Structure 1
Amino acid sequence: MNLKQKFLGAAAMLALTAGAAAAEPGLIIDLGGKFDKSFNESAFNGAQRWVAETGGEYVETELANEAQREQTMRRMAERGANPIVVLGFANASALSEVAPDYPDTNFAIIDVDWLGDLPNVRQIAFSEHEGSYLVGMMAAKASETGTVSFVGGMDVPLIRKFACGYAQGVLAANPEATVIANMTGTTPTAWNDPVRGAELTRSQISQGADVVYAAAGGTGIGVLQAAADEDILSIGVDSNQNFLHPGEVLTSMLKRVDNAVYDVFSAGAEGFEAGVVRMDLSNRGVGIALDGFNEAIVPFSMLSEVYAAADQIVSGGLTVHDYTSDDSCPVLTF
């Protein structure tokens, strides 16, 4: 090899190295916007934490409609983002088409664990039923009427998973309790309809509900507001929403999407691992929020029972039925 060939080879290697070093992670935010104070915002917060700790930069896109899903993934891959985190089960079909076309790009998708063996896809699923069971116990113990309620976003198996876990926790704490459950709609607009969320909440209150749990994305903001207006307790979801109405949000069921995004960004393209990752009570993927905004309304006796139940779930002594395992709920009819 002559000197010129060596020089060109070294230059090519430097270019490849520089390209790899310059690769930035990407985040595709689902419908509802990154400031929904719930699912999307939790993911955004995880990305921002990574930026604050590393000084790095990332590529970000917010979906505006259903038709953008596949096109957005392809554009982000083509611009060199790696790894790319995609939020939400609704992106699963598009990702299964896109990922094989970009074998050198790593993808992670939140709320999916059924895409099969894709060598460049990390599928991150949460045990929402476990965390929902715990907040259901709290709802039952805080209720004075014996009737509590649930407002879901889009009526899909994932949200029924929240509702079923919640109802199991309610009835474990109070077998005589009544659980009212309503879904906001059957299309993606159900994730961002706070007016409808408020309407459903007021209807549930008229039926005696005095604690309401929202698992509805941006729609949940209307649920929590209506609960505060009517002076009943609410339960937030995904992000810690206790601060929205201090002293009136009993707790929030934390779904650590922020940690999932942070972990993928931190691993980068080089440390990426494909396969299914499950985030549950055992690894603090889900849990309850206790802070200065709600500690005055959560007595120690309630916490001790909830923590004892959490320990039983982790040890295997208590099993919470997962709606998505068989599309059924033993204690709630949809």
Structure 2
Amino acid sequence: MRRVAKLSAACIASAALALSATACGSTSSDSDSDSSASAGGGKGVKIGLAFDVGGRGDRSFNDSAARGADKAKSEFGGSIKELTAKTSDTEADREQRLTDLADAGYNPIVGVGFSYATSMQKVAAKYPKISFGIVDSVVKGDNVNSITFTEEQGSYLAGVAAALKTKKDHVGFIGGVDTPLIKKFEAGYVQGVKDTNAKVKVDVQYLTHGSDLSGFSSPDKGKEAAQGMLDKGADVIYTAAGSSGNGAIEAVHGVKGAWAIGVDSDQYNIPGLSAYKSSILTSMVKNVDVGVYDFIKSVHDGKPLTGNQVYSLAKGGVKLATSGGFINDIQPKLDAAKKKIVDGTTKVKTAP
């Protein structure tokens, strides 16, 4: 797990000016990426990213947010400052992280994950001239943009795929932490399975509970949970658990005929998971990158988004990845299920 160094505002500002990271005493969780303004003559943007546990390199949720920021920086010029949460973080730690970025002049600042909700509400109120964005939570404020998704809808389609692909009528769901957000994934998945084939058994397990967020960054726990489900007969496992899902995918790959369903990013195409790609049936892609990019662009254009931007199935906010071609044979049925959700015929639950 990466350590997070608490940087002073002066240290962050120095990093933004391209001084060495060593001079600021940063760790692997604190990084800068600088470039000149875009060729079009734009001023560029100073993007502050406050990552959830796991940070850039989790091959899932945080990486998707990072892609959105990277795209914005590539188009508009400027710099990116990244700070990453620890599993031991307190509310004060999260508040300080956002405050450090604000004091150093980063604008916009994006909190990647619902855990930043309370701290963002406090910090945004203190810095009304800075635009704040938060992923996976709704925070009120004149200078706050909430980026949310209909995870349950995409997960419903993952459940349909699992029910159509299982040969044992037995599938599983692994959640990182039993939060309301992750329960949306569970609810949609289980409903999709049962609506497709009521005879299919669905095992459900959460890696951690309550305020223990290590369930999002413990591949060993993901692997152990998946192995337990496989041993009990499940042959399709969907994991919504950040980098913990990497362990689950590894476990599934070790069982012939079993399938893993990835999450957030198209995990079939993640280089770090290439050894297991033949076992990744599909991924429930949550286009966090699109939401983050849209927000940064709005700030760059001088018209910052505020309120709640909902990225739904109908708007392409969530979808099933087709990489590998493993769901090509069931695509017509998936398309039919999607149509029913989009037109309102199927109402997907947001809680188990």
Which interval holds the TM-score relative to the shorter structure?
A: 0.7 to 0.9
Change in Cα spacing, 1:220 to 1:76, as seen in structure 2 (3 Å) is: same
The letter of the residue matching 1:34 is R
1:159 match: 182
Structure 1 residue 59, shift from structure 2 partner: 2.3
Does 2:335 align with 1:307?
Answer: yes
1:238 match: 264
CA distance in structure 1 between the partners assigned to 2:198 and 2:170 by the alignment: 11
Does 2:72 align with 1:50?
Answer: yes
**Alignment length, in residue pairs?**
299
Match of residue 316, structure 2, among 276, 284, 306: 284
Alignment of 1:233-272 (within 5 A): 233-243=259-269, 244=273, 245-268=276-299, 270-272=302-304
Structure 1 residue 47, shift from structure 2 partner: 1.2
Alignment of 1:1-334 (within 5 A): 21=43, 24-64=46-86, 65-67=88-90, 68-113=93-138, 115-116=139-140, 118-186=141-209, 187-231=212-256, 232-243=258-269, 244=273, 245-268=276-299, 270-291=302-323, 294-295=324-325, 297-300=326-329, 302-323=330-351, 329=352
TM-score by length of 1: 0.86
2:31 match: none
Structure 1 residue 208, shift from structure 2 partner: 1.1
Structure 2: tracts of 5 or more residues without a match: 1-41
The letter of the residue matching 2:261 is I
Structure 1 residue 23, shift from structure 2 partner: 5.1
Is the contact made by 2:45 and 2:79 (CA closer than 8 Å) also made in structure 1? no
CA distance in structure 1 between the partners assigned to 2:83 and 2:60 by the alignment: 17
RMSD of equivalent CA atoms = 1.5
Task: Give the 3-state SS of the residue equivalent to 1:72 in structure 2.
Answer: helix
TM-score by length of 2: 0.82
Task: Give the 3-state SS of the residue equivalent to 1:112 in structure 2.
Answer: coil
Structure 1: tracts of 5 or more residues without a match: 1-19, 324-328, 330-334
Is the contact made by 1:50 and 1:56 (CA closer than 8 Å) also made in structure 2? no
Structure 1 residue 21, shift from structure 2 partner: 4.3
CA distance in structure 2 between the partners assigned to 1:54 and 1:23 by the alignment: 7
Structure 1 residue 312, shift from structure 2 partner: 1.5
- Which digits, 9 at most, give the CA deviation of each residue in 1:43-70, with x for residues without a partner? 1111112223333322222223413210
2:34 match: none
The letter of the residue matching 2:264 is D
Overall identity of the aligned pairs, in % = 36
Structure 1 residue 77, shift from structure 2 partner: 0.7
Structure 1 residue 216, shift from structure 2 partner: 0.3
CA distance in structure 2 between the partners assigned to 1:130 and 1:284 by the alignment: 11
Is the contact made by 2:160 and 2:192 (CA closer than 8 Å) also made in structure 1? yes
Is the contact made by 2:43 and 2:78 (CA closer than 8 Å) also made in structure 1? no
Is the contact made by 2:238 and 2:262 (CA closer than 8 Å) also made in structure 1? yes
More helix by share: 1
Task: Give the 3-state SS of the residue equivalent to 1:250 in structure 2.
Answer: strand
Structure 1 residue 247, shift from structure 2 partner: 2.3
Task: Give the 3-state SS of the residue equivalent to 2:233 in structure 1.
Answer: coil
Task: Give the 3-state SS of the residue equivalent to 2:148 in structure 1.
Answer: strand
CA distance in structure 2 between the partners assigned to 1:82 and 1:54 by the alignment: 13
CA distance in structure 1 between the partners assigned to 2:186 and 2:58 by the alignment: 20
Structure 1 residue 202, shift from structure 2 partner: 1.0
The letter of the residue matching 1:211 is V
Is the contact made by 1:154 and 1:188 (CA closer than 8 Å) also made in structure 2? yes
Task: Give the 3-state SS of the residue equivalent to 1:247 in structure 2.
Answer: helix
CA distance in structure 1 between the partners assigned to 2:44 and 2:236 by the alignment: 49
The letter of the residue matching 1:299 is N
